[in-house]
Structure 1
Amino acid sequence: MEVLVYSAKDFEIPYLEEANSKRHKLTFLSESLSSETVMNSVGYDAVSIFSADDGSAIILEKLKEFGVKYLALRCTGHDNVNLKVAARLGIKVANVPDYSPYAIAEHAVSLLLGLNRRLIESNKRVRSFNFDINGLIGFDLNNKTVGILGTGKIGSVMAKIMYGFGCKLFGYDLVQNKTLKEKYGMAYTSLEDICRQADIISIHLPLNSETHYLINKNIVDIMKPGIVIINTARGAILDTKSVLVGLESGVIGALGLDVYEHEKKLFFKDMSQAIPFEDINIIKLNIMPNVLITGHHAFLTEEALAKITEITIYNLNCWESGKENTNDLV
């Protein structure tokens, strides 16, 4: 099968080549799939994309016109792909539903610890041979209340880690996880109740019509003062403007992000020579001492990359051989 891999990163190409074992002819393109780059797909049986690529209706129609039959996602989330249009056009779509929940959850904990113990500021001082520790006070995680929004695979790992720190756990999800309740004492309750009680909130929800701007002005207004919010899920679950107001007022004590609602124009690129001054929100967030942002790399572990590429190639193999595949979204 002829496959064009959009948004191909240098670090993932060796993993893809190893998983492929020369079965498919892979062509790597560093640019993301967009209206400007979709022409490159002419002559390919399949294209593979990542979370920031454009899978909207107009792009899918172009892919169909150019003869593309398959769309292989190298990620779990698929909010960037119009699945209804793909189904109508007869384009098969598959994702990577499970690669390493540990990678994401451990990164969320890293953001939390980095913020709480002021690690960035402390290291910055030490690098300048300034060993003053004034202003670096954190808090014990032990006995703190942690609200976990989304208790699927990633949220479950996060719950286990936080339980290990001695935290009291609250969960928010449509489906309650019996194991988390029995083993870790997780109590399921409403989002509003969590916001009023939690010292820390960690977000592990998919992005859909129900979760878009789930954390908005009304929710920020009822949060426990000084709350720490960690988001390694999807950027648009947070209303950035409302969160900024919460940070400026002190209601939100700290914010850790691996995702951002307008990351599509920014992340996975070197923007150091083209600072996006038109996006005032990311500018504001980036200069706040109680905000820690990473560029959507929570997934970036050896184990996760191996699994992502293995499943991506498996999806292509299934399509080529006509084998039924539970990873198919369309």
Structure 2
Amino acid sequence: MKNNYSAVFYEAFEEEENILREVLPKGHKYLFTWKTIQESGHKSPPAKIISTRTQSKFPLEWRDKLDAIITRSTGYDHVSDYLRKARTGISAAYLPEYAARAVAEQALMMWTALLRNLTLQRKSFETFYRDGLTGCEIRNRRITVIGVGKIGTELVDIAHGLQMKILGVDLKPKPEMKRKYGLHYVSLKEGLENADIAVCALPLTDITRGMLDYKTLKSMPSGSIFINVGRGEVAPSGDLLKLLEKGIFGGIGLDVYDFEKDLASVLRDGKNASKLKPEARKSVSAVLKLMKDSRAILTPHNAFNTAESVERKSLRTAENLASYLKTGKFLTPITIQ
């Protein structure tokens, strides 16, 4: 495929594409597709600058054909991993913060729906029976926010407004959070043991990968709710399924998944899960079981997706691209240690 485009945008859904077309630097030709790189069938990059979200797999054979990568996401481990393997001078950028409030509100939506048995309520409308539908009020529920960064801070703000009892878990406690919200920082162990609801808002690092596994989360009270809007690799899907099946969890809300690229291929493209590598197969199979459970709410990595955040994301993408086209440098570059 000839490089007839200034940049190609993978994983661009309709609303995002519409805004990008308005705000991207003029006088250039762009290609948009909702597909990931691997779904597109592209054997070589259609442009020397490519932009993705988090589900695309970057082919190593593209490393000498690319000048730059822009990931339209706050997390960028998928890009940094590729750059380490590629060992070339590809420039890269990410979007530091554009959707913290949106992501926090997605978590709120999930724990509210789970506390009030919304899935069962909707089904029971067909018969208008109320048996088994009794839920819980939010006020005075104990919530532990794991990772009090930008998203975690928004979670604390929301929970405080709802008069919940809030605990925070973070390596770097912020004194201002205690002053403003009365937030009490505790260890992960104490936070989990005293949570009716635990929300993971952690980034993916070498430390957090697999941190919230079965052994760690089983200390939560029976019937508690677990929400993950951070990174899927922090809390293995197979472990979460086991915790739900054993009744330790009364509900699960997930917007992120370990082996998310493989999960998307199975759900979107009809790829046979049995053909995945063992670890991926175990994870995807667990998610497929959770899909059928009324105690689980699963969304397609969509927590960021509000009109406000998509506009912010598109503008910051355009600003980064404009800077690179003019100076050869990004405004928010990814640096590899």
TM-score (norm 1): 0.90
What is aligned with 1:286?
Answer: 291
8 Å CA contact 2:44–2:62 kept in 1: the answer is no
Q: SS state of the match for residue 90, structure 1?
A: coil
Whole-Å separation in 2 of the counterparts to 1:64 and 1:274? 27
Pair 256,92 (structure 1): closer, same or farther in 2 beyond 3 Å: same
Query: How far is 1:256 from its partner?
Result: 0.6
Query: How far is 1:197 from its partner?
Result: 0.9
Whole-Å separation in 1 of the counterparts to 2:297 and 2:38? 29
8 Å CA contact 1:267–1:296 kept in 2: the answer is no
Where in structure 2 are the equivalents of 1:234-313 lying within 5 Å?
234-267=231-264, 271=268, 276=273, 279-313=284-318
Whole-Å separation in 1 of the counterparts to 2:86 and 2:287? 36
Correspondence for 1:15 among 11, 14, 19:
19
Q: Where does the alignment leave 5 or more consecutive residues of structure 2 unmatched?
A: 275-280
Q: More displaced, 171-180 or 82-91?
A: 82-91
Query: How far is 1:33 from its partner?
Result: 1.9
Cα RMSD, aligned residues only = 2.3
1:25 and 2:29 are equivalent in the alignment: yes
Whole-Å separation in 1 of the counterparts to 2:141 and 2:108? 14
Whole-Å separation in 2 of the counterparts to 1:263 and 1:32? 12
Query: How far is 1:289 from its partner?
Result: 1.7
Identity of aligned residues (%): 28
8 Å CA contact 1:38–1:62 kept in 2: the answer is no
Query: How far is 1:280 from its partner?
Result: 2.3
Whole-Å separation in 1 of the counterparts to 2:75 and 2:120? 33
Correspondence for 1:75 among 73, 76, 80:
73
What is aligned with 1:229?
Answer: 226
Q: SS state of the match for residue 221, structure 2?
A: coil
8 Å CA contact 1:83–1:329 kept in 2: the answer is no
Q: More displaced, 70-79 or 268-277?
A: 268-277
1:125 and 2:124 are equivalent in the alignment: yes
Give, as a single letter, the amino acid of the residue that structure 2 aligns with 1:303.
E
Correspondence for 1:190 among 166, 177, 187:
187
8 Å CA contact 2:75–2:203 kept in 1: the answer is yes
Correspondence for 1:199 among 171, 196, 201:
196
Aligned pairs, how many?
Answer: 322
Query: How far is 1:235 from its partner?
Result: 1.1
Give, as a single letter, the amino acid of the residue that structure 2 aligns with 1:203.
C
What is aligned with 2:38?
Answer: 34
Where in structure 2 are the equivalents of 1:210-229 lying within 5 Å?
210-229=207-226
Q: More displaced, 271-280 or 249-258?
A: 271-280
Q: More displaced, 1-10 or 268-277?
A: 268-277
Pair 259,41 (structure 1): closer, same or farther in 2 beyond 3 Å: same
Where in structure 2 are the equivalents of 1:26-105 lying within 5 Å?
26-34=30-38, 37=41, 39-42=43-46, 44-55=47-58, 59=59, 61-66=60-65, 68-81=66-79, 82=81, 84-85=83-84, 88-105=87-104
Give, as a single letter, the amino acid of the residue that structure 2 aligns with 1:240.
S
Whole-Å separation in 1 of the counterparts to 2:301 and 2:213? 22
Give, as a single letter, the amino acid of the residue that structure 2 aligns with 1:64.
R
1:319 and 2:324 are equivalent in the alignment: yes
Q: SS state of the match for residue 145, structure 2?
A: strand
8 Å CA contact 2:224–2:249 kept in 1: the answer is yes
Pair 284,136 (structure 1): closer, same or farther in 2 beyond 3 Å: same
8 Å CA contact 2:209–2:234 kept in 1: the answer is yes
Q: SS state of the match for residue 15, structure 2?
A: coil
Whole-Å separation in 1 of the counterparts to 2:179 and 2:228? 26
Pair 22,90 (structure 1): closer, same or farther in 2 beyond 3 Å: same
Whole-Å separation in 1 of the counterparts to 2:189 and 2:295? 24
What is aligned with 1:107?
Answer: 106
Q: More displaced, 44-53 or 272-281?
A: 272-281
Where in structure 2 are the equivalents of 1:148-167 lying within 5 Å?
148-167=145-164
1:2 and 2:6 are equivalent in the alignment: yes
What is aligned with 1:170?
Answer: 167
Whole-Å separation in 1 of the counterparts to 2:273 and 2:133? 30
Whole-Å separation in 2 of the counterparts to 1:154 and 1:194? 18
8 Å CA contact 1:225–1:253 kept in 2: the answer is yes
Pair 270,286 (structure 1): closer, same or farther in 2 beyond 3 Å: closer
Give, as a single letter, the amino acid of the residue that structure 1 aligns with 2:119.
I
